[in-house]
A = this chain, B = another copy of it.
Amino acid sequence: MDKIRIGIAGYGNLGRGVELAVAANPDQELAAVFSRRNPASVKILTQGVPVCPLADAASWKGRIDVLILCGGSATDLPVQTPQLAALFNVVDSFDTHAHIPDHFKAVDTAARQAGTVGIISVGWDPGMFSLNRLYANCILPQGHDYTFWGRGVSQGHSDAIRRIKGVLDARQYTVPVQAAMDAVRSGGEPELSTRQKHTRECFVVAAEGADKAAIEHEIKTMPNYFADYDTTVTFITQEELNREHKGIPHGGFVIRTGSTGANGETRHVIEYSLKLGSNPEFTSSVLAAYARAAYRLSRKGESGARTVFDIAPALLSPHDGDFLRAHML
């Protein structure tokens, strides 16, 4: 069997996760890793696979079936995905919800022109959570959607705390409020404010002699990030942070409650949840599955941008239709 030749662009947490995910998929093999750093400084896990300058990616055209883009959504992917879709089938995890339509258009244009397939916004939100919102809405047109995130680490909120004067390190957890989830599951279709849905737990390492009260106040009143939430701040040592808060767990819940019946008298609850030991390793695993779909669509002669909404689930599996119908339906 010819394996699907995967390339990775960007070797941070996500890139390392994709490397592991590809190794876990018997029908895929890692062909190359591309980085903007000096390749000699990038040590990867897989033996015998080259690390190449991202600027030289074009020379790999024809030797990579799908390139998985592992850069950030703020500045990397808006440029890289359209650019690299001109050379390869690509999959990315672009997650700035408000800019997805523009990103889709840019990737679609580049991919159609090049005859490649580009699957964007793959991961868990956007990604698996989006799919579950869509399925549940199509099944229960009369109903309400709720998404809760956590308990998990928000990198953006942790960074915001670290920028405060006197803070050496920080880790922020987003935590769904149990009472709100219970109210939703009861089918009462409550209207929930930002504060009612999530709390924020901050673990902060302060510099010696720093004004802890001032730091706590600055965190709790920070607009957008914390002011609209019930926030707790706990000062800990760097050792404790390293020991207890090193991981990048995340997860969440997508719940739709809705009704059927002649007078909406029958209630239903659809719930999807994730508890992830590592946010980037799970996202990477989703990316690898959709790389398989990108490869197959491309072999069928399709081109252009796609999202998880456009991909038939069977395309994600290494098994064929006969096997899936016999064993998974």
Contacts and interface: CB of A to CB of B under 8 A. Distances in A.
A53 to B, nearest CB: 26
A137 B317 CA distance: 8
Contacts of A317: 134, 137-138, 309
Interface in A281-329: 281-282, 284-286, 289, 292, 307-314, 316-318, 321-322, 324-326, 328-329
A12 interface: no
B270 A274 contact: yes
Given A138-B317, A260-B278, A268-B276, A329 B24 contact: no
Interface stretch (A30-38, A96-104, A153-161, A206-214): A96-104
A128 to B, nearest CB: 7
A195 interface: no
Copies of the polypeptide in the assembly: 2
Interface in A29-59: 45
A101 B325 contact: yes
A135 B261 contact: no
A140 interface: yes
Interface in A205-253: none
A142 interface: yes
Nearest to A133: B328
Nearest to A267: B277
A314 B310 contact: yes
B270 A121 contact: no
Given A312-B309, A312-B312, A268 B275 contact: yes
Interface residues of A, number: 68
Nearest to A127: B329
Contacts of A104: 325
B101 A322 contact: yes
Interface in A118-140: 121, 126, 128, 130-135, 137-140
Given A266-B277, A268-B278, A271-B271, 13 more contacts: A100-B326, A101-B326, A130-B328, A131-B135, A131-B313, A139-B289, A267-B277, A268-B275, A269-B275, A270-B274, A310-B313, A310-B321, A311-B313
Interface of A: 17, 20-21, 24-25, 45, 97, 100-101, 104, 121, 126, 128, 130-135, 137-142, 185, 259-262, 266-278, 281-282, 284-286, 289, 292, 307-314, 316-318, 321-322, 324-326, 328-329
26 contacts: A24-B142, A24-B260, A100-B329, A104-B325, A126-B329, A128-B139, A128-B270, A133-B328, A134-B324, A137-B317, A138-B289, A138-B317, A139-B286, A260-B281, A268-B277, A269-B275, A270-B273, A270-B274, A271-B272, A271-B273, A272-B273, A307-B325, A308-B329, A309-B317, A309-B321, A311-B312
